[in-house]
Amino acid sequence: MSVKIGNIDLGDFPLLLAPMEDVSDPPFRYVCKQSGVDMMYTEFISSEGLIRDAAKSRQKLDIFEYERPIGIQIFGSDISSMREATEIATLAGPDLIDINYGCPVKQVACKGAGSALLQDIDKMVKMTEAVVKATHLPVTVKTRLGWDDNTKNVDIVAERLQDIGIQALTIHGRTRSQMYKGEADWRMIRDIKRNPHIKIPIFGNGDIDSAQKALDWRREYEVDGIMIGRAAIGYPWIFREIAHYFKTGEKLAGPTLAERVLACRTHLDKSIAWKGPKVGIFEMRRHYANYFKGLPDFKPYRMLLVKEDNIEIIHSILDEVSDKYQHIHFENEVA
């Protein structure tokens, strides 16, 4: 049985790339798509920013044909603004609209957006209904278990949002108060999946960082698919490793040094092409350590890479990394 969101066929068990602020931009999405991710989302986009025509918000609407299926994720605290932002996002031509009811950071939640809506389910329902009515596209939601341990209410959220028209729900197995600390708890996600009233796909998110864990949790928690976020940063190969393990039961060898260097170069080139040389080079700096995690004594190279602003010199440093570490046997950190 294929998992479907509207008319979007995602196969029998989709692997999704989480929308991550300052990470899930088109350059990063490109390298993840090359590694076999089934569906992706933009970084979350402020509804107010879209309405004001803020350059940063507008740029996040950029999507490319090779990325499909892809969703645009929006967030906000004002229902009318979310309605208007939905209309703007729809015109950008994504395959679906996703609403962020999960972001825990202060500058979002303390303004009544993101996970803050878990404290006002009636408003969440009204906001979601406004979004559903404002677009012809499927609408999905990403949220958390609840605001804190005393108010875990995602079971109620799931039923009420399904009843007003959302077509899939992704649940991060932590409360807002946990932020990203502690272990994700997927038991409540399984309970929702087992609820006979729930007919939409339920995706689990949180702490999946290996092919083995993906298989174990797929079986234990009975979700329709898995969304991966932090584990894909600097390691987009996690998608192909999980897919291969599901298909064959065999662990795939981790990426070679050559594959790591190539992915890093590709990410850099796409970053420069999308953002321009200055910003593209600057924003790439956060990724170098992740691509080469596990290399012994890599810090001097990382320091060179994060200080350099000349494209040719950056590529020459990557050449030197290739030469220096060509005989290093890479342990597969992920699978």
The pLDDT value recorded for residue 106 is 83
The average pLDDT across 277-303 equals 93
Q: Which residue has the higher pLDDT, 44 or 179?
A: 44
Average pLDDT, whole number, for the chain?
Answer: 94
Is residue 111 over pLDDT 90? no
Q: Which of 324, 265, 313, 296 is nearest to 27 (CA)?
A: 265
Is residue 141 over pLDDT 90? yes
pLDDT-derived band at 182, boundaries 50, 70, 90: confident
Is residue 334 over pLDDT 60? no
The pLDDT value recorded for residue 332 is 53
Give the helix ranges, DSSP H, for 72-204: 79-91, 106-109, 121-133, 154-163, 187-194
pTM of the complete model: 0.93
Question: How far is it, in rounded angstroms, from Cα 35 to Cα 176?
Answer: 31
pLDDT in tens, 222-269: 999 999 999 999 999 999 999 999 999 999 999 999 999 999 999 999
Percent of the chain with pLDDT over 70: 98
Q: Which residue has the higher pLDDT, 221 or 110?
A: 221
- Please state which of the ranges 25-29, 102-106, 161-165 shows the lowest mean pLDDT: 102-106
The pLDDT value recorded for residue 333 is 43
The average pLDDT across 308-321 equals 96
Q: Which residue has the higher pLDDT, 325 or 31?
A: 31
Catalytic status, residue 32: no
The pLDDT value recorded for residue 109 is 85
Percent of the chain with pLDDT over 90: 85
User: Is the Cβ–Cβ distance between 58 and 50 less than 8 Å?
Assistant: yes
The average pLDDT across 164-182 equals 92
Question: How far is it, in rounded angstroms, from Cα 37 to Cα 46?
Answer: 25
- Catalytic one among 32, 103, 110, 264? 103
For residue 161, which amino acid is it?
L
The pLDDT value recorded for residue 237 is 97
Q: Which of 130, 117, 133 is nearest to 80 (CA)?
A: 130
The pLDDT value recorded for residue 335 is 41
The pLDDT value recorded for residue 305 is 96
Q: Which of 263, 259, 257, 323 is nearest to 287 (CA)?
A: 263
Is residue 330 over pLDDT 90? no
Angle between helices 257-275 and 277-284 (to 10 degrees): 140
Place of tokens 């803050």: 116
The pLDDT value recorded for residue 329 is 67
pLDDT-derived band at 331, boundaries 50, 70, 90: low
For residue 127, how far is the Cα from the chain centroid? 22
